[in-house]
Structure 1
Amino acid sequence: MGFNTALSGIKASADFLSSTGNNIANSDTTGFKKSRVEFGDIYNTSVVGAGSSNTIGSGVRINNVAQEFSSGNIAYTDNNLDLAIDGTGFFVLDVGGTQTYTRAGDFKLDEEGYLVTNDGAYVQGYNATNGIIGGSLENLVVPTERIAPQATENISIEANLDSEAEDMPPYISASFDPSEPDTYTYTQTQNVLDSAGTQHSVTLYYAKSDLPNTYEVYATVDGTLTDSAGTSWLGSTFVTFDEESGNFAPTYSGATAPGVGSIGTLTPFTLAGSFASGATLSSTYDPAVANTLTTPASYARRSFDPTNPETYTYGNTNTVYDALGERHTIGYYFIKQGEQNTWEMKVTVDGEVNDSNGNPFLTEDTVVTFDSEGNISGTYIGYPPFAVANPTQLSITGWDPTDPFAPLDIDLGATTQYALTSSDVFGQDGYAAGELQGVGFDEDGYLTATYTNQQTAILGQIALATFDNTDGLTPAGNTAWVASSSSGAANIGKPGTGTFGSIQGGALEESNVDLTSELVALIEAQRNYQANSKTLETENTVTQTIINLR
């Protein structure tokens, strides 16, 4: 029996040596888990309870080779597809229809875009459709086709417009010319008789002045501005609108100068002059007619030129995309008005103020107003007394050559008017076509693609597995394991939930082998082997002595 005891010790020591050597050999293997040999002694008894309890053992045997699933150190890499698990979970693989589990996350994409291991096993997860994660476990795949363009539909401009900027009233003093509609706002025409009974056509012109809410009145008779003596039919006459009370307050000079009153109660003003025939003309007009004015069609407006900063207070340009993914430059400009807390807004596309039909992209006289605290209070069309609240969101059409009716909505968001330098933050929801540029994983295991057009897309989510008894897993090679009756079935879920753990992208879990400890164990295994060999040698010597007895 001594030979058997010694042989069992030699075998156990050899296995101990092999296990330690295997640990040392895999000290640099990603995701490797070291093994530990567990020994048990051997006793032979013929009948339970029979004989002395102080029996001599019969040697040693290996009860188990256990793997230690403690986590290895995390090593960071430059590969986005290298993954490490911070937790107790395992990656789920498909090997020819069989599920295996690993902690080694050194993955790559094959020629078809599937996420695989170095030996070709498919990494399992939940693929996404239009960014929505599915519920079925399947091979994770990265679509390699380009992403289609998306036309811009919405832009956001969160600006601060400097409240201390110099006013730039929209109207400038311009030489009145009845043949130039841009020099007046509104006209009135009626026929009158002179002192000789001859009929004449008298036209009044209301021209917006450079003063807020003020209109200058001009008159022509039969198309002429002066009578036969060269005197203006109507002297300098102004009508001022009080936007708070709703009253006109006309002030006159040159012609008759009546008092001031509310609409309908004003004393009419009179124009007068003479003709070459000697006949005279005197015609009286009620300023209450100004109440019929609507949004002005034209007037002496200050010119706007997006290439000339002198024509606006603040402006900026950014990029939008049409349905084909072509880039267009949208410009937005703000002009501080004479009216308090009021700014006119202009929009250009590719440097043009008007669309292909000659119409302004943004309705003429679109103004933005702010309250006394500097917060945006609304947008309007026109100026007092013509301002009308804009009932809809600011929007332009005619900017997209592929679709002239495509709207582009403008959200001024949290635009403010503070005593700070004018600036803005721009956003838009369109993009050009893009090629796949790279993929990566976040801590929750979401597989995200990035494209050359700066867009990103969620392609899926990697799966993880846990077990009721991790120690019961059976090694399957390639640092993978399969479930067993001892480990129980895999509990499969998503990173960031339960005890599955989280994902670290661009990182790998190193072997959990402590090389120093293994070298010490190697010395122990060697000594054990030598000692058991000595036992065998001694047993042989004793036996030989007995044989030599004669």
Structure 2
Amino acid sequence: MSLYGTMRTGVSGMNAQSNRLSTVAENIANANTTGYKRASTEFSSMILPSSNGAYNSGGVQTQVRYSISEQGATTFTTSASDLAIDGGGFFIVEAANGQEYLTRAGAFVPDSEGNLVNAAGFTLMGYEYEAGVDPTVVVNGFDGLTKVNLASEGLIAAGSTTGSMGANLPSGAAVGDVSETSLVVYDSQGNTRILDFTYSKVSANNWNVTIVDRTSGTTLVPAAGATPAAYPAAPAGMLEFDSSGQLTATSLTSVTTAAITGLPVTGADLGALTIDLTKTTQLGTSFKADGGTIDGNAPSKVAGYQIDSDGIVYIKYENGKLDPRYRIALANVQSPDKLRPESGNVYSQGVDSGVIITGFAGSGDFGEILSGALESSNVDIAEELTAMIESQRNYTANSKVFQTGSELLEVLVNLKR
């Protein structure tokens, strides 16, 4: 047996326990770090060749493992920009140098430019939102991503573009009977205008609908240049009902109004409006309109923002309107525990982590986004303190091995005296 080998084995054991104590110290220091994932030290033996007459003691080597895939507890806050992921996936953030990283640390707040930035200074990334259109996602890359920015100042108005109007037309009405309702819409400067809908019965199960701008008296349906195929009863739209009072397959189900440019006094424009009529029925009761819906809004100040479980970021106005601006992107890899930890509680792609895949909350393996919540670290203080005591005892025991080898070596040297 080599006394030097025994001493080296003791040193190897002390180094291993020192590494374990280092991960314990890091875990305890980050017990309150949002989204932090605990580190643990794994041991494996090192065996040296031995002969029948002598045994060569080996040693131990360590490898640090991060429990990145283990979700921490969710704590709720009062800030709408605090975000947590309930399930798989990571937020995509950008460093000051333009490099993208992954993180579970969702304590975001707007900076001086309105960008959502977390406590480590990384900026949240997402896609610009377009109503009814999913952003084009580059599945294996970060192309197309932009900073999520909530900077909006002053009054903001939006002209109307789409809406709906549903109504029940009385089936017992006589030919020539007329029913009327109206819908408030917004021009390009946020001024309100009233569109009058007039339903005229022309025959059994058939009604004409016209839409007129009340102030100017301009007939907006049919739109300029519309073909008879689109509006078969020009200048009015023909609503055709079947025997059950529902619109037939050949009936008009939506209309696109003509645009009005350079409105008197204001000089604003009233753009073309697409009005959905599919909720129109003809039943044996009195005329009743559902009030209709319309997008756009009058001039209003920004009152805040909201983020839903799908990661859509809405600007909220004082009048209650919500304007979708961004959709937060998420990313994941095949082996999250193999990601490479970086400073600032972020991760980059590792050799063994697999390819980064991007997507949206609620789809595939991606969890839902919780607004007004944070993911706590997954550190268990009791477990860490227990590991600290074990490492302390094991370190002491390994030091005794080293000390004993040293003493035996001294005895061997003293034999010469």
Same fold per TM (> 0.5)?
yes
1:427 alignment partner, one of 270, 293, 301:
293
1:109 matched residue in structure 2: 110
Matched, 1:141 2:148: yes
Matched, 1:9 2:13: yes
Contact 1:154/1:409 (8 A) holds in 2: yes
For 1:360 and 1:10, how far apart are their aligned partners in 2?
A: 89
**Equivalent position amino acid for 1:51 in 2:** S
For 2:406 and 2:389, how far apart are their aligned partners in 1?
A: 26
1:487 alignment partner, one of 333, 342, 352:
352
2:120 matched residue in structure 1: 119
Change in CA separation of 1:480 and 1:537 when aligned onto 2, cut-off 3 Å? same
- 1:325: Cα distance to partner? 0.8
For 1:154 and 1:90, how far apart are their aligned partners in 2?
A: 33
The 10-residue stretch of structure 1 (534-543 or 468-477) with the greater mean CA deviation from structure 2:
534-543
Deviation by residue 1:240-279 (Cα, 9 ceiling, x = unmatched):
xxxxxxxxxxxxxxxxxxxxxxxxxxxxxxxxxxxxxxxx
Which of 1 and 2 has greater Rg?
1
2:40 matched residue in structure 1: 36
Change in CA separation of 1:23 and 1:412 when aligned onto 2, cut-off 3 Å? closer
Contact 1:470/1:487 (8 A) holds in 2: no
Contact 1:92/1:102 (8 A) holds in 2: yes
Change in CA separation of 1:53 and 1:440 when aligned onto 2, cut-off 3 Å? farther
TM-score, normalization by structure 2: 0.68
- 1:79: Cα distance to partner? 3.6
Deviation by residue 1:295-352 (Cα, 9 ceiling, x = unmatched):
xxxxxxxxxxxxxxxxx9x765542223321124556577999x98798989897xxx
Change in CA separation of 1:328 and 1:542 when aligned onto 2, cut-off 3 Å? same
1:456 matched residue in structure 2: 323
Contact 1:125/1:138 (8 A) holds in 2: yes
1:67 matched residue in structure 2: 66
1:275 matched residue in structure 2: none
Matched, 1:524 2:393: no
For 1:444 and 1:7, how far apart are their aligned partners in 2?
A: 53
Contact 1:95/1:121 (8 A) holds in 2: yes
Contact 2:68/2:336 (8 A) holds in 1: yes
- 1:445: Cα distance to partner? 4.5
Change in CA separation of 1:421 and 1:542 when aligned onto 2, cut-off 3 Å? farther
Contact 2:95/2:123 (8 A) holds in 1: yes
For 1:451 and 1:443, how far apart are their aligned partners in 2?
A: 20
2:228 matched residue in structure 1: none
Matches within 5 A, 1:430-449: 430-442=296-308, 445-449=311-315
2:225 matched residue in structure 1: none
- In structure 2, list runs of 5 or more residues that go unmatched: 222-233
For 1:504 and 1:155, how far apart are their aligned partners in 2?
A: 29
SS at match of 1:324: coil
For 2:408 and 2:260, how far apart are their aligned partners in 1?
A: 109
Change in CA separation of 1:452 and 1:5 when aligned onto 2, cut-off 3 Å? same
Matched, 1:418 2:283: yes
- In structure 1, list runs of 5 or more residues that go unmatched: 171-311, 378-389
Q: Give aligned-pair identity as a percent.
A: 26
For 2:106 and 2:95, how far apart are their aligned partners in 1?
A: 14
For 1:97 and 1:393, how far apart are their aligned partners in 2?
A: 47
- 1:492: Cα distance to partner? 4.5
1:244 matched residue in structure 2: none
Matches within 5 A, 1:209-224: none
2:88 matched residue in structure 1: 87
For 1:20 and 1:72, how far apart are their aligned partners in 2?
A: 19
- 1:168: Cα distance to partner? 12
Contact 1:124/1:137 (8 A) holds in 2: no
**Equivalent position amino acid for 1:31 in 2:** G
1:253 matched residue in structure 2: none
SS at match of 2:24: helix
Change in CA separation of 1:52 and 1:396 when aligned onto 2, cut-off 3 Å? closer
Matched, 1:20 2:24: yes
Deviation by residue 1:209-251 (Cα, 9 ceiling, x = unmatched):
xxxxxxxxxxxxxxxxxxxxxxxxxxxxxxxxxxxxxxxxxxx
- 1:112: Cα distance to partner? 1.6
Contact 2:86/2:370 (8 A) holds in 1: no
For 1:340 and 1:456, how far apart are their aligned partners in 2?
A: 43
Matches within 5 A, 1:102-501: 102-127=103-128, 133=135, 136-142=143-149, 144-145=151-152, 149-152=157-160, 156-162=164-170, 318-330=183-195, 355=215, 373-375=244-246, 401=264, 402=266, 412-420=277-285, 422-425=287-290, 426-442=292-308, 445-452=311-318, 454-466=321-333, 470-484=336-350, 486-487=351-352, 490-495=355-360, 501=366
1:512 matched residue in structure 2: 378
Change in CA separation of 1:41 and 1:432 when aligned onto 2, cut-off 3 Å? same
- 1:509: Cα distance to partner? 3.0
Deviation by residue 1:141-192 (Cα, 9 ceiling, x = unmatched):
3263468644446653211245579x8997xxxxxxxxxxxxxxxxxxxxxx
Contact 1:13/1:529 (8 A) holds in 2: yes
For 1:53 and 1:510, how far apart are their aligned partners in 2?
A: 56
Contact 2:304/2:317 (8 A) holds in 1: yes
2:57 matched residue in structure 1: 57
The 10-residue stretch of structure 1 (433-442 or 96-105) with the greater mean CA deviation from structure 2:
433-442
For 1:72 and 1:413, how far apart are their aligned partners in 2?
A: 46
For 1:475 and 1:464, how far apart are their aligned partners in 2?
A: 15
For 2:67 and 2:276, how far apart are their aligned partners in 1?
A: 59
For 1:360 and 1:457, how far apart are their aligned partners in 2?
A: 32
**Equivalent position amino acid for 1:374 in 2:** G
- 1:91: Cα distance to partner? 3.0
2:231 matched residue in structure 1: none
